[in-house]
Chains A and B, each alone.
Chain A
Amino acid sequence: MAMGESTVQTMTSVGIDIGTTTTQCVISRLTIENTASATLVPRMEITGKEVIHRSEIYHTPLHQHHLVNAVEISRILAKEYAKAGVTPRDIDTGAVIITGESAKKENAKALLEALADYAGDFVVATAGPHLESVYAGKGSGAAKYSSEKHELIVNIDVGGGTANYAVFQEGEAIDTACLNVGGHLIEIEPGGRKITFIAEPAQHVLKALDCHLKVGDEVPFSHLQKIALTMARCIGEVLKCKVPSELTRKLLMTEPLTLDYPIQKVMISGGVADHVYKDFSPRSVEEISFFGDMGPLLGWALRQTLLEEGFELIKPLETVRATVIGTGTQSVNLSGSTIHVKEQSLPLRNVLVLAPFKNLTSPMPDTPEEIAQGIRKSLTALAGEYELHPIALAFEGPRTLSFPDIQNLAQGILLGMEDYLMKTNRLIVVLEKDCGKILGQSLAALSSQDMEMICIDQLDLGNSDYIDIGRPLMGGRVVPVVIKTLVFDTKA
């Protein structure tokens, strides 16, 4: 018999994307259901993701090309919330993704403060090229394509400032990269041909072409075409060459793709994408400068280049909204459905993850003392940073799921966290394997301390990830967890 709590629950999730060029938000409704049959242990899953409001696409309000006008952003959100008929109090979860140039430190903090009123109880700021790429690929439909067709596909989200790559296999991102190429790196008088701004990465491209274009010049179409094709080739190179050219290396903001897999299918999302999938052959600068940048031309160049190099272009479900939809609908993970939560202070934000045995080649140690040593080592490496953030310990699981191995892990955790627990009295453990409830029970039984404890499972976390843990849902069976990277570094 199922336990008697409600079997369906909905959450309202907001996704906010503040990019180099555009700012957008979407509001979606996530449905959580118990998908297990009556005699089984309940299994809560997100079964529906419906976008209920798409905002207009706004130009990101900037001062001097790099400072985001946070006040203006909060006005945009107020307007869109009103249109969607929601108040900040209705928002259960979601994420703000601050990307490209706007992700600079001086912006991030001001933005977070400005957003605090609109972000509800459990919205987080998140950034970083890895997550951004993955969200874009999930929002564009590339992740779904790979799991439905069982074929590998690369999503490239080409926006104003960056091209974000995510390689998907069976619905999972297996590789990501970020290249500093986008449609807004050179700004042009809208409808005209006068250059009004050249961003630094575009200077690298000009230099490689030996082109002396500068702000104020009227740019000839042939020049701009050459620039767009060069940028497009850089984008294509990342899909083909393990050792890219000097220019591409300069523009790469991350490691290049590993290319340990064959790439055939490519999906382009982002603002530039609309002109990739359009039958469009521009002949003059005036024809492409209506947005005040070279985006449409870059789209055209990308289509030429990728087809020439033999890639198959797959149409995305979303183009310019891919990232924001991915952010709004895909950023929440649910924990496993048998967990141990004895904690009054949820939601918890900015919990720093320590994964002492992650990426070890040797198997998980099996004595409590060895486990404790690993934990102590990770704690020491933090050098006191845990005074700034709550700490979560992440493990794949005990060596095996047997009761004795679970006891060993519990003892190891209590031993290794002894000093920490004297200071905080709060223990957060996240496991990949399905053993959160029994580990929580064992920790409580073995500890002499009456701790606030959260022991959740079926989540895969890496060292130095940050997570937000929301209030329990579905009668306390699951907690929502958002994995993120913090925009601002507290150490700096």
Chain B
Amino acid sequence: MSLPNQDLEKIVQDVLAELTKRGLADSASKEQAVPKPAFSSAPAANDDEKMVTLVSADEILIDNPANLAALKAMKKTTPARICIGRAGARPKTASWLKLLADHAVAQDAVFVDVSEDFLKKMNLISVQSAAETKELFLTRPDLGRRLSEEGRKTILEKCAKNVQVQILVVDGLSSTAIEANVGDILPALMQGLKASGITVGTPVFVKHGRVWVQDEVANLVNAEVVISLIGERPGLGTAESLSAYMIYRPNEKTVEADRTVVSNIHRGGIPPAEAGAHLVELLKLILKEKASGVNLNAKLHKD
């Protein structure tokens, strides 16, 4: 997590330097009362969060509002950038910087890797997709959908076979989402599945993976259901959102509609631990009905 925020800091400083060059930074910071120390002093590692919050997300930047209470109430209903006022035809410096910062966070989420320390802490076996580099992963979706030769070997060697549920953690488009949520969702899943007497395979982390990689893993370990916890494409609202994709006995004919998905898992959506307990119920249902995706819905509607 330290790398993305250092990048962010650099971006913010670059922007400020640029503004100073144009003689804008001083007047801008006075006008917006952006606390200067937040930029100039190098903050301690756990102060990084403060760095990101240039203006707090719930701040109203409209000058002299006629009904502040109304603006606050509207602002509460959405994470979108409303009530930010304007400077002439353009956004105010503070909200512009915030946009750049959020964009940087989103980019970091894609380009950064899940740290080795985190994988060790979570006790995850790590394999890689056929996409060797980030660039290949982003430009060749097909490579992210299958495992590297070595990855296949590792899974065959180290993973339990013939299980009911196989859990995959996949970086997808947000490594940030993995580090932010997996620590809470994985133990919740394991606890619930274990209490329900369901056999769970060895959890595996797939680097540079996409959703479909779960089909290959399912067949390697002969799992009834595979659940992939995968980082969602980050947006400007949050880069921490995680999705869970579940598939019952995938084969070569499997398509997107065969998967059951729960999205928006993060602290601002459904909290990860709570999502874990919800997913346990869903997995039990998939096992019982022997179906996922639209097939599951069709079976449930028949009753």
> Which positions in A face B, CB cutoff 8 Å?
1-5, 39-41, 147, 149-152, 169-170, 338, 340, 401-403, 406, 433-438, 440-442, 444-445
Supposing A434-B271, A438-B276 touch, asked if A403 and B183 sit within 8 A by C-beta, the answer is yes
- B residues within 8 A CB of A170? 69, 73
CA distance A433 to B294 in the complex (A): 31
Q: How far is the CA of A226 from the CA of B61 in the complex (A)?
A: 52
The stretch of B86-94, B148-156, B257-265 that contacts the partner chain: B257-265
Q: Which residue of A lies closest to B68 (CB)?
A: A150
Contact A434 B270 (CB under 8 A): yes
Shortest beta-carbon distance from B152 to chain A in Å = 30
B195 at interface by CB-CB < 8 Å: yes
Check A338/B184 contact, CB under 8 A, given A1-B260, A5-B300, A39-B261.
no
Least Cβ–Cβ distance between A173 and chain B, in angstroms: 16
**Does A41 contact B299, Cβ atoms closer than 8 Å?**
no
A-B contact pairs, 9 of them (CB 8 A): A1-B260, A3-B285, A4-B303, A147-B73, A150-B69, A151-B67, A170-B69, A338-B274, A401-B184
A39 lies within 8 A of B184 (CB): no
For residue B262, which residues in chain A have a CB less than 8 angstroms away from its CB? 39-41
Given contacts A1-B292, A403-B188, A438-B277, 9 further A-B contacts (CB under 8 A): A4-B296, A4-B300, A41-B275, A401-B184, A401-B271, A401-B273, A406-B273, A438-B273, A441-B191
**How close is B102's CB to chain A, nearest CB, in angstroms?**
22
Asked whether, in the complex, the Cβ of B69 is within 8 Å of the Cβ of A402, the reply is no
Number of residues from B at the complex interface, CB < 8 A: 42
A402 — nearest CB in chain B belongs to which residue?
B184
A115 to B: closest C-beta gap in Å? 37
Chain B residues contacting A40 (CB-CB under 8 Å) are 262-264, 269-270
Asked whether A441 lies within 8 Å of B187 as measured between CB atoms, the reply is: no
Minimum CB–CB distance for A282 against chain B, Å: 39
Give B142 Cβ to nearest chain A Cβ, in Å.
Answer: 24
Interface pair B69/A151, CB less than 8 Å apart? yes
Q: Are A340 and B277 in contact (CB under 8 A)?
A: yes
Q: How far is the CA of A1 from the CA of B299 in the complex (A)?
A: 13
- Residues in B with CB closer than 8 Å to A340 are 277
Task: Name the residue on B nearest A169 (C-beta).
Answer: B69
Query: Which residues of B in the span 75-96 have a Cβ within 8 Å of any Cβ on A?
Result: none
Select one of A4, A150, A401 contacting B67, CB under 8 A: A150
B residues in contact with A441, CB < 8 Å: 188, 191-192, 195, 277, 280
Contact present for A434 and B184 (CB under 8 Å): no
Interface of B is mostly: helix
Contacting residues, chain B, for A406 (C-beta < 8 A): 273
A433 to B274 CA separation, bound complex (whole angstroms): 10
User: Which 7 residue pairs spanning A and B have beta carbons closest together?
Assistant: A4-B300, A150-B70, A437-B277, A438-B277, A401-B271, A403-B184, A441-B277
Contacts A4-B296, A4-B299; is A438 near B285 (CB within 8 Å)? no
Smallest CB separation, A1 vs chain B (Å): 5
Task: List A contacts of B290 (CB < 8 A).
Answer: none
Q: Which residues of B contact A4 (CB under 8 A)?
A: 296-297, 299-301, 303
Tell me, in angstroms, the Cα distance from A151 to B73 when the chains sit together. Answer: 11
Shortest CB distance B120–A (Å): 18
A residues in contact with B50, CB < 8 Å: none
Give the shortest distance, in Å, between B269 (CB) and chain A (any CB): 8
Total A-B pairs, Cβ < 8 A = 98
| Minimum CB–CB distance for A390 against chain B, Å | 24
User: CB-nearest residue of chain B relative to A436?
Assistant: B274
Q: Are A445 and B191 in contact (CB under 8 A)?
A: yes
Cross-chain contact A1 with B296 (CB below 8 angstroms)? yes
B interface with A by C-beta (< 8 Å): 67, 69-70, 73, 183-184, 187-188, 191-192, 194-195, 243, 260-264, 267, 269-278, 280-282, 285, 292-294, 296-297, 299-301, 303
CB distance from A430 to the nearest CB of B (A): 15
Smallest distance from the beta carbon of A489 to chain B beta carbons, Å?
Answer: 37
Q: Which of A152, A169, A435 contacts B274 (CB 8 A)?
A: A435
- Evaluate whether A41 and B70 lie within 8 angstroms (CB atoms) in the complex, with A4-B301, A401-B271, A406-B273 already known: no
Question: How far is A5 from B289 in the complex, measured between Cα atoms in Å?
Answer: 14
Taking the closest CB of chain B, its distance from the CB of A441, in whole angstroms, is 5
Q: Evaluate contact between A1 and B73: CB separation under 8 angstroms.
A: no
| CB-nearest residue of chain A to B74 | A150
What is the distance, in angstroms, from A329's C-beta to the closest C-beta of chain B? 22
Q: Quick check: B277 and A338 within 8 Å, CB to CB?
A: yes
**Nearest Cβ in chain B — how far from A476, in angstroms?**
10
Listed residue (B70, B296, B299) with the most chain A CB atoms within 10 angstroms of its CB:
B70
- Distance in angstroms from B294 CB to nearest chain A CB is 7
Q: Are A39 and B271 neighbours in the complex by a CB distance under 8 Å?
A: no
How many Å from the CB of B178 to the closest CB on chain A? 15
Which residues of A sit under 8 angstroms from B273, Cβ to Cβ?
A: 401-403, 406, 435, 438
Report the Cα distance A149→B66, complex, angstroms.
Answer: 12
Asked whether, in the complex, the Cβ of A442 is within 8 Å of the Cβ of B191, the reply is yes
Output the nearest chain A residue to B299 by Cβ-Cβ distance. Answer: A4
Least Cβ–Cβ distance between B212 and chain A, in angstroms:
17
Residues of B close to A442: CB separation below 8 A: 191
Determine the distance from Cα of A149 to Cα of B69 in the docked complex, in whole angstroms: 9
* A3 vs B262: C-alpha distance when bound (angstroms): 11
Q: How far is the CB of A284 from chain B (nearest CB, A)?
A: 45
Q: Which residues of B contact A169 (CB under 8 A)?
A: 69
C-alpha spacing A4/B289, complex, angstroms: 12
**Smallest CB-CB separation from B298: which chain A residue?**
A4
A402–B293 touching, CB < 8 Å: no
In the complex, chain B residues whose CB is within 8 Å of the CB of A150 = 67, 69-70, 73
Flag if A2 contacts B297 (CB, 8 Å): yes
Known contacts A40-B264, A150-B67, A403-B184; is-contact A440 B300 (Cβ 8 Å): no
CA distance A338 to B69 in the complex (A): 31
Q: Of all chain A residues, which has the CB nearest B285?
A: A3
CA distance A455 to B273 in the complex (A): 15
- List, in ascending order, chain A residues with CB within 8 A of B243's CB: 39
| B191, A338: Cβ atoms closer than 8 Å | no
List, in ascending order, chain A residues with CB within 8 A of B278's CB: 41, 338, 437
Tell me whether B73 and A401 are in contact (CB under 8 A).
no
A441 to B284, CA, bound (A): 14
Expressed in whole angstroms, the minimum distance between the Cβ of A188 and any Cβ of chain B is: 44
Determine if B300 and A3 form an interchain contact, defined as CB atoms under 8 angstroms apart: yes
Docked complex Cα distance between A444 and B191 (Å): 10
Give the nearest-CB partner of B243 in chain A: A39
Least Cβ–Cβ distance between A45 and chain B, in angstroms: 14
**Contacting residues, chain B, for A401 (C-beta < 8 A):** 184, 267, 271-274
**B158 vs chain A, min Cβ distance (A):** 25
CA distance A436 to B276 in the complex (A): 12
Q: How far is the CA of A443 from the CA of B281 in the complex (A)?
A: 16
Residues in A whose Cβ lies below 8 Å from that of B69: 150-152, 169-170
Complex contacts, A436 vs chain B, CB 8 Å = 274
Contacts of A434 in B (CB 8 A): 270-271, 274
